[in-house]
Amino acid sequence: MEENSMADADPVALQPEKGRRTRARRQAPLVRRQDLLAVTVNCLARLGPRGTTGREICRQAGVSHGLLRHYFINPDNLLLETYEQLCEQLLAHVEAEVIPYEADPWDALHRFFVAVFSKEWAGPDIIGAWMVFWQLVRSREDFQLVSERFNLRQRALMDRIAQRLPGERDAGQLADAIAILSAILDGLWIEFYLSEARTPAERCIALCERAARMLFAA
């Protein structure tokens, strides 16, 4: 893995352009790598893991296979690195939104939910790719490890916020509440992906807040 990670980049950098790219452009190495990762996200959302081949990524990005191998060892490594960077960038995005408001834990939780359902992170390409990664987590140990690290860090952030909420809770109660809230969050994310008209982002955020109020009641 290169030291330059997409966690240092703007979250919208992962938003892929639509349609095939007609030619490769001269770009800085990090920008080119970001571009290839964005194309991978788009391909995963549309074609699934089997259709997201090195050849297809090159075709969509308008680059040679040699250039793809210059940045990534093989397509499998590209999928894993894309997943790692999605996790890193989502966490960085949420933390940036939450940390300035931690003095008011209810406001911090609200900011957490708003960040997760923002346009950058609740678009069809991003969630579509994420659902593919969840499938890979079930069958590949390397993806399982990335998923475990991501979930531990996400729950640690929730725990840090919840510790500041009024009322007394033992460690077991707090862990159970965070586990339930995480499951609700994931479920609503999928519900939003399946039908934004049926369950718009504002509704998802409101339901997450209502669940949090119930789970963390003093």
Return the CATH number at 158: 1.10.357.10
**Tens-place pLDDT, residues 68-96:** 888 877 666 888 989 998 999 999 999 99
Choose the final residue of a domain: 77, 98, 131: 77
The reply to whether 73 and 94 lie within a common domain is no
Q: Do residues 58 and 95 share a domain? A: no
Q: Is residue 82 part of a domain?
A: no
**CA dihedral sign, ordered 161, 162, 164, 166:** positive
Same domain, yes or no: 199 and 102: yes
Find the Cα–Cα–Cα–Cα dihedral 74, 76, 79, 84, rounded to 10°: -90
In a domain, residue 46? The reply is yes
% of the chain residues with pLDDT over 70 = 84
Of 29, 52, 77, the one marking the end of a domain is 77
Binning pLDDT at 50, 70 and 90, where does residue 14 land?
A: low
17: domain range?
A: 6-77
Q: Is 97 a residue whose pLDDT tops 70?
A: yes
pTM score, whole prediction: 0.79
Q: Which one-letter DSSP state was computed for residue 196?
A: T
In a domain, 1, yes or no: no
pLDDT of residue 28: 64
Who has greater pLDDT, 7 or 113? 113
> Do both 193 and 125 map to the same domain?
yes
Q: Verify that 69 and 138 share a domain, yes or no.
A: no
Indicate the range of 18-22, 60-64, 192-196 predicted with least confidence.
Answer: 18-22
Ranked by mean pLDDT, which of 24-33, 119-128, 141-150 comes out on top?
Answer: 141-150
Kindly state the percentage of the chain with pLDDT values over 90: 61
Same domain, 32 and 139: no
Answer yes or no: do 182 and 146 share one domain: yes
Distance (Å) of CA 150 to CA 36, 50, 56: 22, 24, 28
Structural domain contains residue 175 = yes
The answer to whether 191 and 198 have CB atoms below 8 angstroms apart is yes
Residue 182 pLDDT grade (very low, low, confident, very high; cuts 50, 70, 90): very high
